[in-house]
Structure 1
């Protein structure tokens, strides 16, 4: 049975549904990546159907390997559900105390609290699922010139940990935020 997570509705926003990516998400992925702001912050922009298929294939492979878990984040729309974000738990290894959380938010969903709620849902799931395998903390990293990601980290329970020096493929220094297992 596929994993489905939920981030509860707030007074101003609907419930979010988080589920593994599916092959029929190709058009939604392409639409999200048309946004120049999203492309600015991602290492692997998706601009063609072939790249979108590769994105979805890598997502399936990560789940199959039990090491990388990428979630499509959806909210209700008049015609069903609309893609609003992606959250990924990566570098999950039994016995390793940490893993990394990454995310992006589709342009129409920015500034509405989608990313912190989705990151919080995946973080809680990660601790519940992998604590017995030794997971004690999660890291969220972003470039120093991305204050929106700093706010997402703080709102989803990730405390600023330290400054990271620039290193390829990241051209600028960055922040590491950490959330510890409750």
Structure 2
């Protein structure tokens, strides 16, 4: 994939590079999922090499189908780059006015503004790329007991819209945040 997005540097944080996942990301993906906090919030944990290969395969398939776009979010380090987050745009379809954005942040990157900048970059890209197909609204959903996700939504331009009742596979009520195309 040749798509590369950038989230600009801030006075206290370096620029972020967002790109499609590649096979070489398996070890970083597995390392991120060793975090018990990430495991507690995800429906599809990646804890084995086989699960990492399946995650990466699904990511490629989503891009190929032009319906689901998963980005590895990388931060520069003196040694190269390290994985700090994941952002996904899902449920994109021509003529459909809405889609969903999801994300997670690796433990060492939490609280540093990584997730809002990465979500903002993918959201802006989505509106730009799919405006001609009718995309006018993005949703970000999370469980009510995840206040950090509320802060990420707000910082990345998503406005709280409503509480959603719990429904499988989600055990708790959730929040729907919405960002509209300008």
- With the length of structure 1 as denominator, give the TM-score of the two structures: 0.99
Aligned equivalents of 1:40 and 1:174: distance in 2? 15
- Provide the residue aligned with 1:47 in structure 2: 47
Gaps in structure 2 of 5+ consecutive residues: none
SS at match of 1:56: helix
Deviations 1:138-175 (A, max 9, x none): 00000000000000000000000000000000000000
CA deviations 1:12-66 (Å, max 9, x no partner) are: 0000000000000000000000000001111000000000000000000000000
Rounded to whole Å, the distance in 2 between the matches of 1:50 and 1:119 is 28
Partner of 1:30: 30
* Secondary structure of the corresponding residue to residue 46 of structure 1: coil
Size of the aligned set, in residue pairs, is 182
Distance 2:16 2:140 in 1: 21
Give a deviation string over 1:61-83, Cα, whole Å, max 9, x none.
Answer: 00000000000000001210000
Partner of 2:99: 99
State the partner residue of 1:139: 139
RMSD across aligned positions (CA): 0.5
TM-score between both structures, scaled by the size of structure 2: 0.99
1:78 and 1:110 mapped to 2: Cα distance? 20
Which 4+ residue blocks in structure 1 deviate beyond 3 angstroms? Answer: none
Unpaired runs of 5+ residues, structure 1, are: none
Q: Partner residue of 1:117?
A: 117
